Amino acid sequence: DQQVKQNSPSLSVQEGRISILNCDYTNSMFDYFLWYKKYPAEGPTFLISISSIKDKNEDGRFTVFLNKSAKHLSLHIVPSQPGDSAVYFCAATSNTGKLIFGQGTTLQVKP
């Protein structure tokens, strides 16, 4: 079941630069998308979400872009900070409520 895919297992960026994490989905019934951040041995922490009726949502340093025609979303972090280093999960849901997660991308922000 690969309904949500994060094709980059890892990403390394320099502090202060932009981090771009990508996510693709296949199920056109998904109508709400979320990004979670996760540290080892902790639960996923909600970062930002976007409804399918929008194409952009911004919260501080975090912006999520949704391209419905391409079934693609991305998370931009600007500027990146060393404390942003973690695993980032993209998740999608429809009106059933259950979240379908991608495999995660490990972000390393170097000082």
Partner 1 sequence: EPEVTQTPSHQVTQMGQEVILRCVPISNHLYFYWYRQILGQKVEFLVSFYNNEISEKSEIFDDQFSVERPDGSNFTLKIRSTKLEDSAMYFCASRWVPAADTQYFGPGTRLTVL
Which stretches of the chain bind partner 1, using CB under 8 A? 31-32, 34, 36, 41-46, 49, 51, 89, 91, 93, 95-104
CB closer to partner 1 out of 13 and 33: 33
CB closer to partner 1 out of 6 and 85: 6
Phi, psi of 83, deg, nearest 5: -70, -10
Cα 108 to Cα 111: distance, rounded to the nearest angstrom = 10
Q: What's the closest the beta carbon of residue 60 comes to partner 1, in angstroms?
A: 16
Q: What's the closest the beta carbon of residue 44 comes to partner 1, in angstroms?
A: 5
Contact between residue 24 and residue 42 where contact means Cβ atoms under 8 Å apart: no
Q: How many other β-carbons are positioned within 10 Å of the β-carbon of residue 37?
A: 20
Q: What's the closest the beta carbon of residue 111 comes to partner 1, in angstroms?
A: 27
CB closer to partner 1 out of 42 and 111: 42
Contact between residue 25 and residue 4 where contact means Cβ atoms under 8 Å apart: yes
